[in-house]
Amino acid sequence: MDKEALLIIDYTNDFVADKGALTVGKPGQLLENSIVNLADQFVKNNNWVILPTDLHHKNDPYHPETKLFPPHNLANTWGRKFYGKLQTWYDQNKSNNQVYMYNKTRYSAFAGTDLDLRLRERNIKTLHLVGVCTDICVLHTAIDAYNLNYNVVIHESGVAATNDDGQKFALNHFKNCLGAKIEK
């Protein structure tokens, strides 16, 4: 039987909290309940919850983002912890064999990881995407998922971008270029 997975992308303090290094701020903070409720639903329905999370090291001269952005999601920092209720949810559910925190070092959760292999081992065909930033990491993950022939579902109530134009662009791209289903 085909399974589904919820990917909660980069929902960390650095990307969401007021004092985060690259925060989307209030729009990201407003997603908190929607994301946690979806995660509960997926676990309850015996589906997978995967948390692909940016991992960086300060002043890494080999990483392209070092030149683009201030240090963020650094290993073993407050900034890399999940934002708000998601951290509590993760702490309570991480021993469940259907919940995985997944390190990633590029925008896409697939780039340089074995995520595709892990999903295929579990017969997962449909990916539900939430998190931040809609126009960066969520977008790049969705494009790779499309190219790998996954069904893609974007939960509009679970994604936030760097700005309104980025949000609008990404949602249109998901729908019109990737054929993704957009759920409110």
- Total domains in the fold of the chain: 1
pLDDT of res. 40: 97
Per-residue pLDDT of the chain (184 residues; tens, 9 = 90+): 679 999 999 999 999 999 999 999 999 999 999 999 999 999 999 999 999 999 998 888 888 888 888 889 999 999 999 999 999 999 999 999 999 999 999 999 999 999 999 999 999 999 999 999 999 999 999 999 999 999 999 999 999 999 999 999 999 999 999 999 999 9
Instruction: Tell me the C-alpha distance between 104 and 138, whole Å.
Output: 13
pLDDT of res. 1: 64
What's this model's pTM, rounded to 2 decimal places? 0.96
pLDDT of res. 67: 84
Residues 6+ apart with CB under 8 A from 91: none
Find the domain containing 48 and state its range. 3-183
Rounded to 5 degrees, φ, ψ at 156 are -60, -35
Q: Are 182 and 154 in contact (CB under 8 A)?
A: yes
Instruction: Name the one residue in this structure whose structure tokens are 């991992």.
Output: 55
Residues 6+ apart with CB under 8 A from 166: 133, 134, 135, 136
Amino acid present at 125: K
pLDDT of res. 63: 83
Long-range CB contacts for residues 114-117, cutoff 8 Å, separation at least 24? 115/50, 115/52, 116/148
Q: 23 - beta bridge partners?
A: none
User: Residue 175 is part of a domain; what is its CATH number?
Assistant: 3.40.50.850
pLDDT of res. 176: 98
Q: Count of CB atoms within 10 A of residue 91's CB?
A: 10
